[in-house]
């Protein structure tokens, strides 16, 4: 029996010329700009054109392109090997579908059809669910699959914010970095969202908080000074906080050794390589910080790959409804955007 696993991620421009169309795809997503299409399309064109020069400079800092596809391919290879080495009953093939750049769902659906699996398993590389990330990718896949007559049984692993091996992978990396450190501040940084998204029932912030809580319980050291903050804020809307920038400024002035943990990013890309590594380190040093450390994204960390492999192989343990496989610790009922509650 053959099983296709489809990994979802945002994607990123593969060259400088791709930056503006990548931004257009991002802002033309109805989960990002919740407007009628006849308004969203021209607005997305305008925003992407205006933001392209700044974004191009960001990508120039890391060689003119995003590494996210290359790194996701490495994760896919490692995951496929893990599954096929441990699950002899099935033949697994891992595919990639990016939301805003290639390979898009339209390309990947045809590759999956050629593989002709008995089941398709959708697995976002977003540990914490948001309608703007995992939700958008899942919706697009289902739409494109229907349009291309891919009628294979499809299962969805929507999120895994407290998965044991996902948590253990973070604990292992954090302990290595903080061993022997004194007078440090552990800063968990996640991509932010407009506050209105959370008020409309998006569970993302709650799930990120659960990830951090589980990690700190696992580290089991009440003396560690830590905080959760949110980065990448853009536009005039009020975003969830506190902002990573504000936290960095505050604790740099107190001359703390800052240790940054990218808690919602599992691959290196512009938000880690430029925003965290270059812009925020400069901000920290300009405000008195002498020591700034950023823990790497999980990438192909063995525990993380095992986490994904186990989620797939053991998904029936979390069977919920209509081929949806959420974690056992379900979102509170107020988070109506959670797929378990729809």
Topology of domain 164-294, CATH: Rossmann fold (3.40.50)
Whole-number pLDDT of residue 328: 80
Whole-number pLDDT of residue 320: 82
Whole-number pLDDT of residue 34: 82
pLDDT in tens, 156-199: 999 999 999 999 999 999 999 999 999 999 999 999 999 999 99
Whole-number pLDDT of residue 31: 86
pLDDT tens track of the chain, all 342 residues? 999 999 999 999 999 999 999 999 999 998 888 889 999 999 999 999 999 999 999 999 999 999 999 999 999 999 999 999 998 899 999 999 999 999 999 999 999 999 999 999 999 999 999 999 999 999 999 999 999 999 999 999 999 999 999 999 999 999 999 999 999 999 999 999 999 999 999 999 999 999 999 999 999 999 999 999 999 988 788 999 999 999 999 999 999 999 999 999 999 999 999 999 999 999 999 999 999 999 999 999 999 999 999 999 999 888 788 899 988 888 999 999 999 887
pTM score, two decimals?
0.96
3-state secondary structure the chain: CEEEEEEEECCCCCCHHHHHHHHHHHHCCCCCCCCCHHHHHHHHHHHHHHHHHHHHHHHHCCCCCCCHHHHHHHHHHHHHHHHHHHCCCCEEEEEEEECCCCCCHHHHHHHHHHHCCCEEEEEECCCCCCHHHHHHHHHHHHHHHHHCCCCCEEEECCCCCCCHHHHHHHHHHHHHHHCCCCCEEEEEEEECCEHHHHHCCCCHHHHHHHHHHHHHHHHCCCCCCEEEEEECCCCCCCECCCEHHHHHHHHHHCCCEEEEEECCCCCCCHHHHHHHHHHHHHHHHHCCCCCEEECCCCCCCHHHHHHHHHHHHCHHHHCCECCECCCCCCCCCCCCCCHHHC
Ranges of each domain in the chain? 2-10+66-161+301-341, 164-294
Whole-number pLDDT of residue 276: 98
Fold: same for 2-10+66-161+301-341 and 164-294: yes
* Contact indicator for 108, 150 with CB cutoff of 8 Å: no
**Domain 2-10+66-161+301-341: which CATH number of 3.40.50.450, 2.60.40.10, 3.40.50.2000, 3.40.50.1400:** 3.40.50.1400
């Amino acid at each position: 029996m053959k099983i296709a696993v489809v990994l979802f991620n945002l994607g990123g421009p593969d060259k400088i010329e791709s930056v503006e169309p990548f931004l257009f795809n991002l802002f033309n997503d109805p989960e990002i700009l919740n407007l009628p299409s006849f308004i969203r399309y021209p607005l997305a064109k305008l925003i992407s054109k205006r933001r392209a020069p700044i974004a191009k400079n960001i990508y120039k800092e890391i060689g003119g392109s995003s590494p996210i596809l290359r790194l996701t391919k490495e994760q896919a290879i490692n995951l496929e090997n893990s599954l096929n080495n441990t699950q002899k009953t099935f033949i697994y093939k891992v595919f990639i579908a990016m939301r805003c750049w290639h390979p898009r769902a339209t390309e990947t659906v045809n590759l999956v059809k050629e593989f002709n699996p008995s089941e398709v398993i959708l697995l976002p590389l977003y540990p914490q669910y948001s309608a703007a990330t995992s939700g958008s990718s899942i919706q697009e896949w289902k739409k494109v699959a229907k349009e291309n007559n891919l009628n294979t049984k499809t299962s969805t692993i929507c999120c895994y914010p407290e998965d044991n091996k996902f948590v253990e992978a973070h604990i292992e990396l954090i302990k290595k970095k903080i061993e022997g450190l004194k007078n440090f501040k552990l800063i968990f940084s996640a991509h932010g969202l407009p506050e209105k998204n959370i008020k409309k029932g998006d569970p993302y912030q709650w799930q990120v908080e659960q990830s951090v809580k589980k990690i700190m319980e696992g580290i089991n050291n009440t003396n560690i000074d830590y905080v959760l903050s949110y980065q990448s804020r853009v536009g005039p809307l009020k975003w969830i906080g506190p902002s990573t920038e504000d936290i960095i400024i505050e604790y740099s002035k107190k001359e703390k050794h800052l240790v940054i943990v990218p808690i919602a990013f599992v691959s290196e890309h512009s938000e880690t390589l430029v925003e965290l590594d270059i812009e925020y380190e400069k901000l920290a040093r300009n405000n008195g910080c002498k020591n700034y450390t950023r823990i790497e994204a999980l990438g192909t960390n063995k525990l993380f790959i095992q986490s994904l492999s186990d989620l797939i192989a053991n998904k029936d343990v979390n069977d919920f409804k209509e081929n949806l496989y959420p974690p056992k610790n379900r979102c509170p009922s107020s988070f109506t955007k959670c797929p378990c509650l729809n």
